[in-house]
Amino acid sequence: MKTQTMKAVLCTKYGAPEVLKLGTVNKPNPKLNEVCIKIYASAVTNSDIFIRSSRVPLKLLIPFRLAMGITKPRRPILGLVLAGEIVEIGMNVTKYNVGDKVYGLTGFGIGCYAEYKCMKTDDSTFGCLSKMPSNVTFEEATMLAYGGLLALQYLEKGDYKSKKQIAIYGASGTTGTLAVQLAKQAGAHVTAICSERNHELVKSLGADEVLDYTKQEKLPEGKQFDLVLDAVGKMKTSVLRRACEKALTSDGENVSIDDGDLKLVSSRLKEIKELTEAGLIKPYLDKIYSLDEIVEAHRYVQQGHKRGGVAIRIG
């Protein structure tokens, strides 16, 4: 039988965006407990930038290289997020059928900058999968998968459904734009913190108040929060962020997206699907690139100022 090939982006060493090269590799075949997904869209996330550049804090360098590859990525096809259609199923797969449209993350399996990806359907550190929302495009689904999983996990860590005054710090990013909407639909008064150019965007997503971290250093007099969610990571900070943390009520919680590992849980993907189909949350995409524009896409995302998500259209 003739071996089938597919287009993929290969990362053969750690480094700048230019280490990513478009190439051709063998198309994978599903094992007994795997599905094969034809990928229509992936995303460029901060996790991809982190892996490609291997620019990690010194104390994490050894564990990172042991997990991902000592001198170069052990799995040369990067990409953590996918949305696509199941085209083949292994003999033991019962949850999915050929033709199902799915979205998810691939964890340590990465491999989404390609036309096909085989993965297990049960949750593990090698990914989580769910049927995708029926009312969004494949590109939009990638943004919901990554930002949605992060936003839900860390809002739940802060018990967001019981909170009345929630601040979302870094409200304009992939996670932030979804966190604003999730907090709002749960009934909270939402204060979104982002630079002025993104104020209209976050208001359109439901924020009740907006503050500019680049210009303001103080909160309005008497302002208090019972949950402050950092949706951009501890490296991105400001005087206003510290003011938010100081304005917590006595039983208020301060949660960062960097507190612990992202959990790859398909039940959260299902919840995001339901909320999206009910019209309670919606994805916001900044840019869509094609697979052969991957270097440009990585350059853009690593600047750290994307609004919502950045997707890669494949095929």
Ligand X SMILES: NC(=O)c1ccc[n+]([C@@H]2O[C@H](COP(=O)([O-])OP(=O)(O)OC[C@H]3O[C@@H](n4cnc5c(N)ncnc54)[C@H](OP(=O)(O)O)[C@@H]3O)[C@@H](O)[C@H]2O)c1
Interface ranges with ligand X (CB under 6 A) = 45-47, 147, 170, 172-175, 194-195, 197-198, 213, 232-233, 236-238, 257-258, 261-262, 304-307
User: Residue 86 or residue 275: which is nearer to ligand X going by CB?
Assistant: 275
Closest contact distance (angstroms) between CB of 45 and ligand X is 6
Measured CA to CA in angstroms, residue 301 lies from 287, 297, 306, 308 at distances of 10, 6, 6, 11
* Least separation in angstroms between CB 87 and ligand X: 29
Residue 111 or 170: the one with the smaller Cβ distance to ligand X is 170
DSSP, collapsed to helix, strand or coil, labels residue 292 as helix
Contact at 8 Å (CB) between 38 and 84?
yes
The residue among 55 and 197 lying less far from ligand X, judged by its C-beta, is: 197
Report in angstroms how near the CB of residue 91 gets to ligand X at its nearest.
34
Closest CA to 207 of 222, 239, 229: 229
As a whole number of angstroms, the distance between CA 293 and CA 152 comes to 30
> How far apart are alpha carbons 70 and 66 in whole angstroms?
6
Minimum distance between the CB of residue 202 and ligand X, rounded to whole angstroms?
Answer: 10
Q: What's the min distance (Å) between Cβ of 230 and ligand X?
A: 9
Write down the least CB distance from residue 51 to ligand X, Å: 11
What is the rounded distance in angstroms from the CA atom of residue 249 to the CA atom of residue 162?
14
Of 33 and 237, CB closest to ligand X: 237
Residue among 93 and 180 whose Cβ is closer to ligand X: 180
- Nearer to ligand X by C-beta: 6 or 152? 152
Structure tokens at 177: 């734009």
CB 20 within 8 A of CB 290: no
Helix, strand, coil in percent for the chain, rounding step 5: 30, 30, 40
